[in-house]
Structure formats: structure tokens, C-alpha cells
């Protein structure tokens, strides 16, 4: 993948906004976009391999554009007519090579070698792009998503991007990261406050604001938000992810000690995943000193 470029004279160029009247016609084929859940046409949404960064393969109609997620190498249908972030563009030969690998994968069926080549190529494209564009407001959600994906793989590897914690026989809590607000969200199946979970979350994240969010419709539900400071640099983002990892480990040790013991033994043998360490991004070295800090009062949920 190379720098930003596209041809103004391509006769076969699809118009991504062709089905949206009254707006400019913007060609999005070959665009590298940051997409979110609201862009996905087909439920149930993303998998743990997805990173929310995709190359648009064919985008004649904005309401249904094919795109390749650069993390999972899965082809998705995206609705690109809503608010969208375009980070870069790929050259036409790069798009042809991607389509060639997709054809090989389709013909190879269960051939893991063919699928592996596409996966490795697409993820290397993602790392190269992120290294070139750098860390900023537009790329922050992608950096956080990649980092939280590592945490999920280490602590609770399954198809979804969440860490499940069993509080009791019929009480399972799921923790996922809201990438836009940098909040760790604990979803519970019950609308009633859970005193044991509240105490555990407060002790696991003593320096963060913890909020209880209750809903009254559809039978009701409750969730808890651990609101972390919005990271202004990659170093701060990695520190925030480390805080999340430590907190989730503390909760697993508290509620599922036997499972936590097995996880710790595995990590002691193979080490923790750290995909963000593969990125080579030059950041200005600065020293930040807090003149005043705000701590959530222990034992209190707002």
C-alpha cells in the first residue's frame, strides 16, 4: 500500500454515492476507511479478528459497498452513505492483488495456506498504514481496538471482542471497550444493581470514574462504565490498555480464581500479546506531570 493517490481519468470508476441524490459523487473504490458498527449492513456485526479498518473493493452504491477488513481479511457489506472516515487510498495494482488473493481463497476452499497469505498481507497493509498515518483522533479507535483485541485473546479468546466473567452460575458479565469514548463497559443480564460486581470494579479501577447506567425498556438491563482518560498519544493509549488489562485480571482473580490460575500459567509460558509494539511511529518525547488529579471515591457508584 502506498500514499494517497487516485486517477481522475478512470472510465470504469464506480460512483460510491450514485444512489444518494443531491450530493457530490465521491468514488470510494480503493479507499481505506475506518468503519463502525453502524456501517455494517449484515448482523451480527464484527468478530474479534476485525479491526474496523477496511479497503473498499467495490462501491458503486453507497448503501451496499464491499470492503475487506484488514484484520480478519473478511469481505463485508458496508453502508458508506453515513459519516465516514477515509484514512488513505491504495493503488490500482494493490487492489488487483487483493482481488487475486480473494479469488485464490474462494477457489482454495479450506486451504489454510491460501487464506493465511491474504490475512498476512491485509494485516501488514494495516500496520503500514497506521505507522505512516500515525496516532491521532482519526486513528485512535483503531489503535484501541487492536490493543483490546490482544487483551481478549489473552484472557478470553472467543468469537466476540469481549471478556466474559462468571459471577455465579446464572450471572455472566461481558466487558467490552467503547473505542470512541475510551470507556470499558460491563454489561449485565439483570436490571438490578449488583453489589459484588460494583465493589469488584471499583477496587479493580480505583483511579477511574465508574458509572451505573440503567435501562427500563425491554425488560430492563444495567451496565457499568469505567471512564478512562482519552489518550492523546500512542504511549498514553498503551498505558490505558495496560490499566484495562490489569483491572480485568483483578476481576478474574476475584470471581474465577481457578480459571485465572490457568490463564496466568499460559501467559507465563507464552507471554502477553502486544501487537501495537510492532508499529514504528515517531512521537515527540514529552513529560506530562499532573498538577491535579481526580479520583473516584471508593465504594461509590454515580
User: pLDDT for 117-147, tens place per residue?
Assistant: 899 999 999 999 999 999 999 999 999 999 9
pLDDT at 82: 81
Co-location of 123 and 104 in the same domain: yes
Task: Give mean pLDDT, residues 90-98.
Answer: 94
Co-location of 102 and 164 in the same domain: no
- Inter-residue contact 275 to 148 (CB < 8 Å): no
Rounded Cα distance between 69 and 34, Å, is: 10
pLDDT at 11: 42
Rounded Cα distance between 64 and 50, Å, is: 19
More confident residue, 77 or 8: 77
Residue where a domain stops, chosen among 133, 163, 182: 133
pLDDT at 270: 92
Does residue 249 sit within a domain? yes
Does residue 16 sit within a domain? no
pLDDT of 196 strictly over 60: yes
pLDDT at 198: 94
Which element (helix H / strand E) includes 76?
strand 75-78
Co-location of 183 and 204 in the same domain: yes
Rounded Cα distance between 143 and 231, Å, is: 11
Does residue 26 sit within a domain? no
Query: Sign of torsion, CA 247 278 120 58?
Result: positive
Co-location of 188 and 146 in the same domain: yes
Residue where a domain stops, chosen among 98, 133, 168: 133
pLDDT of 12 strictly over 50: no
pLDDT of 186 strictly over 60: yes
Range of the domain at 56: 31-133
More confident residue, 6 or 300: 300
Task: Give mean pLDDT, residues 234-263.
Answer: 95
Q: Locate cell 482519526: which residue?
A: 138
pLDDT at 2: 43
Q: pTM (2 decimals)?
A: 0.82
More confident residue, 55 or 65: 55
Residue where a domain stops, chosen among 133, 159, 190: 133
Co-location of 149 and 243 in the same domain: yes
Tabulate helix, strand, coil % of the chain (nearest 5). Answer: 35, 20, 45
Co-location of 116 and 157 in the same domain: no
Co-location of 127 and 151 in the same domain: no
Co-location of 156 and 252 in the same domain: yes
Co-location of 126 and 148 in the same domain: no
Task: Give mean pLDDT, residues 229-251.
Answer: 95
More confident residue, 241 or 82: 241
Does residue 288 sit within a domain? no
Does residue 99 sit within a domain? yes
Task: Give mean pLDDT, residues 1-17.
Answer: 44
Rounded Cα distance between 272 and 251, Å, is: 18
Does residue 2 sit within a domain? no
Co-location of 255 and 210 in the same domain: yes
pLDDT at 301: 55
pLDDT at 6: 37
pLDDT at 153: 94
Co-location of 128 and 145 in the same domain: no
Does residue 242 sit within a domain? yes
4: confidence class by pLDDT, cuts 50, 70, 90: very low
Phi (first) and psi of residue 149, to 5 degrees: -60, -40
Task: Give mean pLDDT, residues 42-57.
Answer: 81
pLDDT at 284: 66
Classified as helix, coil or strand, 224 is strand
Number of domains in the chain: 2
Does residue 105 sit within a domain? yes
Task: Give mean pLDDT, residues 248-265.
Answer: 96
Co-location of 83 and 201 in the same domain: no
pLDDT at 88: 93
Nearest to 300 by CA among 225, 204, 199: 199
Task: Give mean pLDDT, residues 234-262.
Answer: 95
Rounded Cα distance between 198 and 181, Å, is: 21
111: confidence class by pLDDT, cuts 50, 70, 90: low
Amino acid at each position: 500500500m502506498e500514499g494517497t493517490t487516485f486517477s481522475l481519468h478512470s472510465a470504469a470508476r464506480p460512483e460510491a454515492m450514485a444512489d444518494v441524490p443531491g450530493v457530490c459523487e465521491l468514488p470510494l473504490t480503493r479507499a481505506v476507511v475506518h468503519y463502525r458498527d453502524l456501517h455494517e449492513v449484515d448482523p451480527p456485526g464484527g468478530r474479534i479478528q476485525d479491526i474496523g479498518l477496511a479497503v473498499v473493493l467495490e462501491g458503486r452504491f453507497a448503501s451496499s459497498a464491499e470492503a475487506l477488513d484488514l484484520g480478519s481479511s473478511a469481505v463485508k457489506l458496508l453502508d458508506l452513505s453515513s459519516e465516514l472516515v477515509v484514512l488513505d487510498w491504495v493503488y490500482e495494482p494493490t487492489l488487483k492483488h487483493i482481488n487475486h488473493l480473494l479469488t485464490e481463497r474462494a477457489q482454495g476452499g479450506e486451504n489454510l495456506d491460501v487464506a493465511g497469505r491474504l490475512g498476512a498481507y491485509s494485516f501488514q497493509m494495516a500496520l503500514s498504514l497506521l505507522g505512516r498515518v500515525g496516532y491521532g483522533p482519526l486513528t485512535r479507535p483503531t489503535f484501541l481496538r487492536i490493543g483490546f483485541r490482544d487483551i481478549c485473546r489473552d484472557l478470553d479468546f472467543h468469537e466476540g471482542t469481549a471478556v466474559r466473567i462468571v459471577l455465579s452460575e446464572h450471572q455472566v458479565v461481558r466487558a467490552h471497550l467503547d473505542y470512541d469514548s475510551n470507556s470499558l463497559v460491563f454489561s449485565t443480564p439483570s436490571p438490578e444493581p449488583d453489589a459484588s460486581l460494583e465493589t469488584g470494579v471499583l477496587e479493580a479501577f480505583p483511579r477511574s470514574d465508574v458509572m451505573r447506567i440503567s435501562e427500563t425498556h425491554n425488560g430492563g438491563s444495567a451496565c457499568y462504565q469505567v471512564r478512562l482518560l482519552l489518550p492523546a498519544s500512542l504511549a498514553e493509549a498503551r498505558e490505558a490498555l495496560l490499566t484495562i488489562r490489569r483491572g480485568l485480571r483483578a476481576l478474574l482473580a476475584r470471581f474465577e480464581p481457578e480459571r485465572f490460575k490457568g490463564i496466568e500459567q499460559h501467559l507465563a509460558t507464552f507471554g502477553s500479546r502486544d501487537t501495537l509494539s510492532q508499529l514504528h511511529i515517531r512521537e515527540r518525547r514529552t513529560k506530562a506531570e499532573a498538577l491535579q488529579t481526580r479520583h473516584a471515591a471508593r465504594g461509590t457508584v454515580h
